[in-house]
Amino acid sequence: MATVEVTFPPLPAHVRTARLVATAVARRSGMDESLLDEVRLAVGEACSRAVEAHRRHCPSRPIRVALCDDGERFEVVVTDAAPADADVEPGTGDSASAESPAGRNGTASGAAAVAAPGGGAPLQLPAGVGLAVITGLADDVRISPAPDGTSVAMSWKRRSAIA
Amino acid sequence: MPSRGRPPRRRDDAFTALEDFVDLKLGHSNKDGIEVVDVEGEIDVYTAPRLRELLIELVNKKNYQLVVNMEKVEFLDSTGLGVLVGGLKRVRAHDGSLDLVCTQERILKIFRITGLTKVFGIYESVDQAIAARKAEK
């Protein structure tokens, strides 16, 4: 059962609110301070992605964020209601809303995130960078179909559980 | 009569940040022929368009040597990275440069995860960034 659930309309301004709630709940749950920035960034990435998908396909429907602490892991699940073919990356290119077929099956790779290291053209962030960042931050990431859309579940082990 | 002032706030209350909301402040100035963009606050899906507009405006005004000072940036996500990459792309089209000033580990981490440390010049101070750029000329 989720410790805290938040739903918010798909407005970019509310992504910050979701980040703050996630960070606050993680801190209250006793997460190591060193992990709070990771939680904040990963939740922001997941919510940004969901907001962009909703704004294109179902702007009246809310996005759901569930935060759960089972004592050993802290898990955040961001669930959208956008159709399965609507996966997007929020504005990672030079345009305001670059659309992309980001990895729906959780195969995003941080190492593959940059296409042109060293300064050669083209210089544009490839698809799935947000998911790649999440993958690079969380201990475990699962991206799976939800009843109406997609859920991105990310979790962190407690530092004491790792040691 | 009761005070109408705000009650004392605890520093461990994460929502304090909501009340002290400074989303994004932007400024720019010319230093030794290089346009220095000062960014303060959070660069995310909500605020990044403003940074994008500023970078486009500077390039349109023929400023092709840019240094983005991120020392006061509290948060940066992939949307912000996209804007910086877009800015770099624009100045490079004019044989220009876009270097970054950042020493904060929390911000540097996202550059490392995405491999963008190989794309941007990242310096510890504005003076260092400018000196490095001048040395390349």
In this prediction the ipTM stands at 0.81
List residues in chain B touching A: CB distance below 8 A: 12-15, 17-18, 23, 42, 44-46, 48-49, 52, 75, 77-79, 81-83, 85-86, 88-90, 92, 106, 109-110, 113-116, 118-119
The pTM (predicted TM-score) of the whole model is 0.81
pLDDT tens-digit readout, A96-140: 333 333 333 333 333 333 444 344 434 457 768 999 999 999 999
| pLDDT of residue B10 exceeding 80 | no
B66 or A101, greater pLDDT: B66
Q: What was the pLDDT predicted at A95?
A: 46
Domain ranges of chain A: 4-162
* Proportion of chain B in helix, strand, coil states, percent, rounded to 5: 40, 30, 30
What pLDDT does A89 receive? Answer: 57
CATH of domain A4-162: 3.30.565.10
Would the CB atoms of B14 and A91 count as touching at under 8 Å? no
Tokens 């912000």, residue? Answer: B80
* Disruptive mutation site among A11, A14, A16, A20 for chain B (greatest number of B CBs within 10 Å): A16
Residue B1 has pLDDT above 70, yes or no: no
DSSP codes, A92-114: -SSSTT------TTS---GGGS-
pLDDT at B111 over 50: yes
For chain A, the C-alpha Rg in angstroms (whole number) is 15
CATH, range B22-124: 3.30.750.24
Q: What pLDDT, on the 0 to 100 scale, is given for residue A113?
A: 37
Is residue A85 very low, low, confident or very high in pLDDT (cuts 50, 70, 90)? low
A–B CB contacts, 8 A cutoff, strictly below? 124
Phi, psi of A96 (to 5 degrees): -75, -25
Selection from B54, B63, B56 nearest residue B25 by Cα: B54
